[in-house]
Amino acid sequence: MTATAPRPITSGLDPRFALSLYAHVGEQGSWTLESYRARGGYQAARRALSMDPDRIIDEVKASGLRGRGGAGFATGLKWSFMPLKDGRQHYLLCNADESEPGSFKDRYLMSEDPHQLIEGMLIAGYAMRATVGYIYIRGEYILAAERLEGAISEARAAGILGSKVLGSDFDFQLQVHRGAGAYICGEETALMNSLEGLRANPRLKPPFPAAAGLYGLPTTINNVETLCAVTHILRYGASWHAQMGSGKSLGSKLYQISGPVHRPGVYELPMGTTFAELIEDWAGGPTEPIKAIIPGGSSCPMLPYQQDILDLPMDYEAVAAKGSMLGTGGVILIPQNYCIVNATWNLVRFYAHESCGKCTPCREGIAGWMVHVYEKLVRGQGRPEDVDLILDMSDNIAGKSFCALADACLGPVQSSIALFREEYDHLASTGQPLYPRQSRWLGGGAR
C-alpha cells in the first residue's frame, strides 16, 4: 500500500512551514562565518562536493525550483544546458542587480546572510563545472556589497573559496562586481555585457549563455534567491523543497509588499500563499482603501483589488491565468485615491529612464514618446484621443522590441487603461484627475 503524499504547504501559517532563506535575517552578526557555521553552514556544500555533479542537477530539477529573478524558468533545466565535457572555462553569474520597482528581497539576503549565497554558488559552480563565479550586485547596495566582500574574505581564509575548496578537488573563485545604476543590467545578456566592460545593451539569443556567455564561454546566470534556495535544497532535500507550494510552483518564496500597508517588508512564505494572507495576515492590511495590486514588480500587469484576486495563490500559474505574472513577488498596492494615470506615469518614467536605447520602439516609443504623452495627461493638457493613442502606440511596441524592457513598460500601461479607463478619460477630457494629489510624506515620521 503506497503512502499518500502529504498535503502541500501553501500558507505561511501552516505549522509545518519552516523558514530557510530569511531564517536568520536580523540576528546580530548573522553575516559572519562564525554565525553561519554555528547553524550548520556549509554542510550542504560538503554534501554536494561528495556527489556527482550531475546528481546535483537532478536534485535541483526534482526540487521544482524555478528562477526567482522574475522569469520563473526551471533552474535544474537551465543548469542542464551547460556543456559537460568541453574543457573550457565555465562561469556562474549571480544576478544581484535587483532593480525592479517593488523588489527588495535579494538585498537582505546579501547584507544579512551572505554565506548562504556563497554556499549556493559553490554548489552551483560545482554542479556546472564552473570554477569562477561573479556576483553582479547593483552599485547602490553599498552595505550588501560590503558584507558580501567580508563574507568572501572569510570564506577564502577558511578554504571555502579558492583552490581545492573544503578539501575537495574543486577550485572555486568568487568575485563581486558592482554595477553603476542601470536597471537593464538585470537582463542576463546585458549583465554579461556590463560585466565585460561594454555598454549594457542586451545581446542576441541565440547564442544562449550556456553556449556562449561571459567572454564567449559557457555561462549560467541565476538570481540571488534562486542560488540561496539551492543551498537549502542540498541541505534539507529536494522533497522538502517540493513539499512547499503546489503544482509547478514549488518551494518557498520571498514575497515583498510595499505601498500603503501597515507592515511593508519581505515575508518568506510557501509558494501558493494567497495575496489575502500576505496583505492581511502578515502585512497587517492596507492603511487606506486600495484599488489595484501589482503582483510581482512593476513589469507585471496590474490586477484589480477584489476578492477573486485576493484569493489567488501567489504562484506562477494562477497569476498568469489572470493575465499578469508572479515576477519577483514584489507586491505593490495602489491606493484608491492615487491617480492611476500618475502612478502609471511614474512607472513609464522609470522604463524611459532605464531604456538602454538600442532599439527603436523602446528608445523612441517609450522613452521618446510615451513618457511625454503621460506627462501631458497628468499636467492636465491631454486630449481625449490621447488614451487611444497610448493604446495604439502600445500595439506598435508590443512584441516588437529587442528585449523585454519595452514590453515590461506596457504591463502597467495596458492594464491600467483596461482597469481604470474612466480615470484616464476623465483626466484626458477635463484636465483634472479623478483623484487629486494629496500629501503622502511621513510628516512627523514613524521611525
- 49-88 binders of another protein (CB under 8 A): none
The footprint of another protein on residues 214-233 (CB under 8 A) is 214-216
Strands (E), 315-407: 330-335
Task: State how far the Cα of 346 lies from the Cα of 340, in Å rounded to an integer.
Answer: 10
Spatial distance between the Cα atoms of 416 and 387, rounded to a whole number of angstroms: 11
Of 150, 158, 236, 323, the one binding another protein (CB under 8 A) is 236
- On whether the CB atoms of residues 147 and 161 are closer than 8 A, the answer is no
Q: Which residues contact 336 (CB under 8 A, 6 or more apart)?
A: 288, 289, 290, 291, 435
- Take residue 111 and report the three cell numbers written for it: 547584507
| 285 interacts with another protein by CB under 8 A | yes
Of 93-112, which residues contact another protein (CB under 8 A)? 98-104, 106-108, 112
Binding another protein by CB under 8 A: which of 45, 60, 123, 195?
Answer: 195
Of 1-20, which residues contact another protein (CB under 8 A)? 6, 12-13, 15-20
Q: Using CA atoms, how far apart are residues 185 and 28, in angstroms rounded to an integer?
A: 32
Among 7, 55, 248, 262, binds another protein (CB under 8 A): 262
Spatial separation of the C-alpha atoms in residues 120 and 176, rounded to whole Å: 15
Q: How far is the CB of 284 from another protein (least distance, A)?
A: 4
In angstroms, give the least distance from the CB of 217 to another protein. 9
Residue 293 CB-half CA count within 13 A: 34
Q: Shortest gap between Cβ of 17 and another protein (angstroms)? A: 6
Those residues whose C-beta lies under 8 Å from the C-beta of residue 142, and which sit 6 or more positions away, are none
Q: Is 197 in the site for another protein (CB under 8 A)?
A: yes
Binding marks (x or -) toward another protein, 22..41, rule CB under 8 A? xxxxxx--------------
Q: Does 240 bind another protein (CB under 8 A)?
A: yes
Quick one: which of 180, 139, 200 has its CA closest to 355? Answer: 200
198 binds another protein (CB under 8 A): yes
DSSP 389-437: HHHHHHHHHTT-SSSTHHHHHHHHHHHHHHH-HHHHHHHHHHSS-SS--
User: For another protein, how many residues bind (rule: CB under 8 A)?
Assistant: 127
175 near another protein, rule: CB under 8 A: yes
Of residues 358 through 417, those in contact with another protein by CB under 8 A are 358-361, 363-365, 367-369, 372, 376, 389, 393, 395-402
Considering the complex, what minimum distance in angstroms separates the CB of residue 376 from another protein?
Answer: 8
Q: How far is the CB of 353 from another protein (least distance, A)?
A: 6
Helices (H), 65-198: 75-79, 105-112, 114-127, 142-157, 188-195
Query: Which whole-number Å values give the CA distances from 320 to 72, 249, 287, 300, 325, in the listed order?
Result: 12, 12, 28, 10, 5
Q: Report 129-168 residues binding another protein (CB under 8 A).
A: 132, 138-143
Select 15 or 167, whichever has its Cβ closest to another protein.
Answer: 15
